[in-house]
Amino acid sequence: MSGTTPTTPRIALVLAGCMMLVLAGCRAPGKPGPAEPRPDRVMEFAKLYKQNCAACHGEEGKRGLAVSLSNPVYIAIAGKEAVLNATAKGGPGKLMPAFAKSYGGTLTDAQIEVLADGIVRHWGQPQLLAGKNPPSYAATLAGDAAAGNAAYTAYCTRCHAEEAIDKTHIAGPITDANYLALISDQGLRTAILSGRPEEGMPDWRGIAPRPLTDRQVTDIVAWLASLRKTPASPNTASSKEKSHE
Amino acid sequence: MKDLKQRGLRIFQWFEKRTGLLKPLEEMARHPTPSSAASWWYVFGSAAMVLLIMQVMTGILLALVYSPSASNAYASLQFINHNLRLGWFLRAMHGWGSDFMIAIVLIHMMQVFLFGAYKYPRELTWIAGVFLLLLTLGMAFTGQVLRFDQDAYWGLGIGASVTSRIPFIGAPMVHLLLGGPIIGGATLSRFFALHVFLIPALLLAFVGLHLLMVLRLGINEWPMPGRLVRKSDYDRNYVALTKSTGVPFVPDAAWKDAVFAAVILLAVMACAFFFGPFGPGGQPDPTIIQTVPRPDFFFLWLYAVLAFLPPEMETPALLIAPVAIVGGLLLLPLIAGEGEKHWSRRPVAVLMVTLIAVTLGTFTHLGLHTPWSPAMDSWSSDPVPASFVEHRTPLERRGALLLQQKQCRNCHSIGGVGGRRGPALDAVATEMTGDQIVRQILQGGGNMPAYGKALSPEETTAITQYLRTLRGPGLRPAADASQGLQPQNASHPVDSTKGASGAP
């Protein structure tokens, strides 16, 4: 036993010395990295997007549940103003909350600007639709539901009927009143105009043999809107106060 | 060499002549201990003291730079972390030293208890030890507050709301501690004063008293089954024992203390080196709500207890339990001051230690692994993995969207992403029928809020339709075509939309 007495502390000393050398020399694993900024000081597009939008619009703006924000056709039609507006005040339907602090969200105006600007600059293609004369982003005409029904049956049912004809692009029915209660007219219009490229829905140019006209798009939306239980409310049905139980 | 020794001796005598302190110190160091007490089991007390000294030294260095004002504290910690050479290591040593110290004090206490060392004549030593434990915990808590990050800030807020429930003195006590009704600039200065002046002063005083008694009364002999402690003959027996088997404390027993203390110090350094300092986490600011406060390790059990206590039990439990526990610890040596010391003859004592250790361990484990705070930004940042949304109808996809928008994902993970407050929903469809799912959503229950008022019938339908497609990781829902028909087939009460679908 007594043999260990003098050597053990010496070993400890040597170990401690080595440690100090290592500390001074290389990068210690415990050394803290740069401090996290406050949430309202984050100004990087990728970080802001991941934190606030990725859940519904998909990582990198792709394959999300809602509008594909990385779809350049969507960006070209909607423009930065509409993107900024939706981000700040909430989407056209009630499914997307407002993000600006002034509308009850958590992001500052500067952060909203970073997001809108980032979406347009990262994912947009400036001259994509130059000369293609797409229908306007927002509807300007009054819709005709009967004409819309005809156009829908002609162009949409091949993918959207319960027994779809185009088996490669089975998309499921969108005439279900429950579904229509959860999407706004603008949401429908956006879907028709910009399509869902990742899932196989073409944009307004590829749905019919000829590109759909503004009138046709407006009519189809009008017809779909007429299938809602509460055609008066343009948005989601949560305004309807129905009590369960 | 010989010359050096002589000169050393002369200096020693010079001081001794004038102070008269060195001889007694030397005697103290060489005081005889029963050889059975020169054991590896007896090293924890001295290790705790070495850690205390290390904490004092690192603490002084930190105090040179730390700024105890609400507006600067956070920045000064960042400064220490990033701008001072090895500043981060100093913070890490102090933080890990604190955790190690609590652990060692607890182990020391358990050993003393199991060895019956608190019995006559060492009752007061134990009582001083109980105060040392409380003071050590006090240091850990105030230290965590000085970090003044979100964890500290929110922990403090919760602590204050707990304290305020004490009848009569609760509110004044909170006021006194926080320096006002709310956490503010004054709070930090108060905790700084507590952490660097008041508690350390008390701690050192009690350590002195504790040590004095250890030296005066001698180190507890190794307990023997059947050798009972009696006030009448204990002292005589102890003197006889030290006479017959006594060895000088230095070096025969002390080298073990020295080796163990060195190992512990190395362990603290290793933890500091590899795991780094604690925090500071996010900035303290009540307007930042994307935060999940989490207390430091040794207070986790407390948070777990609070989280699991039914609300109506909280106040009584919080008022009675601490008084009972501390009172019990203080009274222990006065009640059980005599009799058997050996653990093999004290089944109740062993059972109690086991019970307490298991309880604390379990609650700490729960504290570490139960995410009772939901993941605050899952709803907007964690997408449902692609394999769980492919081949779904538009309505089902709206249901998945609603799962995000209604923040269900903050509590429910799918495909391993999302909060864990509630069960994972990967395979709900195999565990629950559509009706059961609807009931759970509308009525909540079991720590889930009821959504009856917050969902329209269409929203409930969409969510349920989507959840009914979840049959396990990567599994596709049953044939797509039949999924499309389901809105009509479903028989649950909220499906009020027959006939509308499939209109074309």
What is the predicted pLDDT for the residue at A235?
Answer: 44
Which residue type sits at B240? A
Measured between CB atoms, which of A28, A59, A64 is closest to B273? Answer: A28
Running DSSP on this structure, what letter comes out for residue B180?
Answer: S
The beta-carbon neighbor of B81 closest among A5, A32, A175 is A32
Give the nearest chain B residue to A96 (CA atoms). Answer: B405
Share of chain B above pLDDT 90, in %: 37
Residue B285: pLDDT over 90: no
Give yes or no for residue B207 having a pLDDT over 50. Answer: yes
Q: Which residues contact B361 (CB under 8 A, 6 or more apart)?
A: none
pLDDT of residue B180: 77
Whole-number mean pLDDT of chain B?
A: 84
Query: For the residues B27-40, what does the mean pLDDT come to?
Result: 86
> What is the per-residue pLDDT for B123?
94
Residue B168 pLDDT greater than 80, yes or no: yes
Q: What is the pLDDT of residues B472-489, one digit of tens each?
A: 765 554 444 434 444 443
Residues on chain B touching A60 (C-beta within 8 angstroms): none
* CA-based end-to-end distance of chain B: 109
Please check the confidence at residue B504 and state whether its pLDDT lies above 50. no
Residue type at A112 in one-letter notation: I
pLDDT value at position A146? Answer: 93
Residue with tokens 């260990």: A4
Lowest pLDDT segment from A23-27, A52-56, B185-189:
A23-27
> According to the model, what pLDDT value does residue B103 have?
95
**Contact B282/A at CB under 8 A:** yes
Residue A4 with chain B: CB contacts under 8 Å: 259
Half-sphere exposure in the Cβ direction for B422 (13 Å, CA): 19
Q: What pLDDT score was predicted for residue A22?
A: 61
Least trusted range by pLDDT, from A129-143, A211-225, B305-319:
B305-319
Q: Give the per-residue pLDDT at B290.
A: 55
pTM of the predicted protein model: 0.70
More confident site: B483 or B280: B280
d(CA A4, CA A9): 9
Q: Verify whether the Cβ–Cβ distance B283 to A38 is below 8 Å.
A: yes
Complex ipTM over 0.95:
no
Angle B179-B311-B162 (CA atoms, 0-180°, nearest 5)? 15
Q: What is the pLDDT of residues B215-238, one digit of tens each?
A: 888 888 888 888 888 988 998 988
Which token pair is B108? 């020391």
Would residue A68 be called left, alpha or beta, if left means φ above 0 and alpha means ψ between -120 and 50 degrees? beta
pLDDT of residue B381: 86
Contacts of B86 in chain A (CB under 8 A): 23
User: Which residue has tokens 């347009």?
Assistant: A120
Q: Work out the percent of chain A whose per-residue pLDDT is above 90.
A: 47
Q: What are the tens digits of pLDDT across the range B335-345?
A: 988 988 888 88
Q: Comparing A1-15, B287-301, B339-353, which segment has the lowest mean pLDDT?
A: A1-15
**Per-residue pLDDT reduced to its tens digit, B432-450:** 888 999 999 998 877 788 8
pLDDT score at A231: 46
Maximal C-alpha separation, chain A: 103
Q: Is the pLDDT of residue A216 over 90?
A: yes
Q: Is the separation of the CB atoms in B374 and B419 below 8 Å?
A: yes
Kind and range of the H or E run holding B391: none
- Confidence (pLDDT) at B200: 97
Go through A35-46 and write b for each residue having 16 or more CB atoms within 10 A of its CB, e for each that does not.
beeebbebeebe
- What is the CB neighbour count within 10 angstroms for residue B188? 26
Determine the Cα–Cα distance for residues B335 and A41; give it in Å rounded to an integer.
Answer: 60
Mean pLDDT of B5-13: 91
Question: For A157-166, B52-61, B354-363, B452-461, which range has the lowest pLDDT when averaged over its residues?
Answer: A157-166
CA distances from B49 to A105, A234, B227, B269 (A): 52, 72, 30, 17
Average pLDDT over residues A197-214: 90
Provide, rounded to the nearest whole percent, the portion of chain A with pLDDT above 70: 82
The structure tokens listed for B294 are 């989490």
Torsion, Cα of B468, B474, B480, B486 (10° steps)? 0
Q: Could you tell me which CATH number the domain at A133-232 has?
A: 1.10.760.10
Which site among A13, A179, A180 would you substitute to test the B interface, given the most B Cβ atoms closer than 10 Å to its Cβ?
A: A179
Distance CA B73, CA B78 (A): 9
Q: Which residue has the higher pLDDT, A14 or B454?
A: B454
DSSP string covering chain A:
-TTHHHHHHHHHHHHHHHHHHHHHHS--TTS--SPPPPGGG---HHHHHHHHTHHHH-GGG-S-SS--TT-HHHHHHHHHHHHHHHHHH--SSTTS---BGGGT-SB-HHHHHHHHHHIIIII--TTTTTTT-PPPSS--SPP-HHHHHHHHHHHTHHHHSTT-S-GGG----S--HHHHHTS-HHHHHHHHHH-BTTTTB--TTTSSSSPPPHHHHHHHHHHHHHTSS-TT--S-GGGS-----
* pLDDT higher than threshold 90 for residue B28: no
For domain A44-130, the CATH superfamily is: Cytochrome c-like domain (1.10.760.10)
For residue range A36-89, what is the model confidence (pLDDT) as tens digits?
777 778 899 999 999 899 999 999 888 889 999 999 999 999 999 999 999 999
B334: pLDDT strictly greater than 50: yes
Q: State whether residue A95 sits within 8 Å of chain B by CB.
A: yes
Q: What is the pLDDT of residue A7?
A: 62
CB nearest to B266's CB, from A15, A170, A177: A15
pLDDT of residue B264: 96
Check residue B93 and give its pLDDT. Answer: 95
d(CA B144, CA B177): 15
Which residues in chain A are contacts of B262 at CB distance < 8 A?
Answer: 8-9, 12
Strand B246-248 vs strand B32-34: parallel, antiparallel, or unpaired?
Answer: antiparallel
Q: With bands split at pLDDT 50, 70 and 90, how would you rate the model's confidence at B286?
A: low
Quick one: pLDDT band at residue B119, thresholds 50, 70, 90? very high
Of the candidate ranges A233-242, B179-188, B408-417, B439-448, the one whose mean pLDDT is the lowest: A233-242
The pLDDT value given to residue A167:
60
Q: What per-residue confidence (pLDDT) applies to A233?
A: 45
pLDDT above 70 for B255: yes
Indicate the burial class of B138 (C-beta count within 10 angstroms; 0-12, 13-18, 19 or more): middle
Strand partners, B414: B417
Q: For chain B, what is the largest distance between any 2 Cα atoms, rounded to a whole number of angstroms? A: 112
Looking at this protein, which amino acid is placed at residue B217?
A: L
Contact B89 A227 (CB under 8 A): no
Domains of chain B, earliest start first: 30-369 (1.20.810.10), 378-483 (1.10.760.10)
DSSP output for B216-278: HH-PPPPP-TT--B-TTTHHHHHHHHHHHHEEEIIIIIHHHHHHHHHHHHHHHHHHHHHH---
Q: How many residues does chain B have?
A: 504
Q: Which amino acid is at B151?
A: D
Of the candidates A113, A20, A58, the one whose C-alpha atom is nearest the C-alpha of residue B400 is A58
Looking at residue A26, what is its pLDDT?
58
| Residues of chain B numbered 323-362 and touching chain A (CB < 8 Å) | none
User: How many contiguous H segments (helices) and E segments (strands) does chain B have?
Assistant: 21, 2
Residues of B in Cβ contact (< 8 Å) with A242: 456-457
Share of chain B above pLDDT 70, in %: 90
Q: Does A198 touch chain B (CB under 8 A)?
A: no
**DSSP H stretches of helix in B66-196:** 73-82, 87-114, 123-146, 150-163, 170-178, 185-193
Residues A135 and A212 sit within 8 Å (Cβ to Cβ): yes
CB B131 within 8 A of CB B180: no
Residue B462, number of CB atoms within 10 A of its CB: 29
Q: How far is CA B472 from the centre of its chain?
A: 36
**Which residue's structure tokens are 């429908």?**
A188
Contact between chains at A39 and B456 (C-beta distance less than 8 A): no
Report pLDDT for A213.
93
The residues of chain A that CATH labels 1.10.760.10 are 44-130, 133-232
Å from B188 to nearest chain A CA? Answer: 21
Q: Would the CB atoms of A178 and B88 count as touching at under 8 Å?
A: no
- Ranking A206-210, B48-52, B132-136 by mean pLDDT, the lowest is A206-210
The model's confidence at residue B490, banded by pLDDT at 50, 70 and 90, is: very low
pLDDT beyond 70 at A181: yes
Give B444 or A167, the one with higher predicted confidence.
Answer: B444
Mean pLDDT of the region B42-46: 93
B9 vs A241, residue with greater confidence: B9
Inspect the interface and report whether the beta carbons of A176 and B501 lie closer than 8 Å.
yes
CA distance B76 to B68: 9
User: In the block, which residue shows the tokens 């004409």?
Assistant: A147
Whether residues A183 and B398 touch (CB distance < 8 A) is answered with: yes
Structure tokens at B406: 């209604």
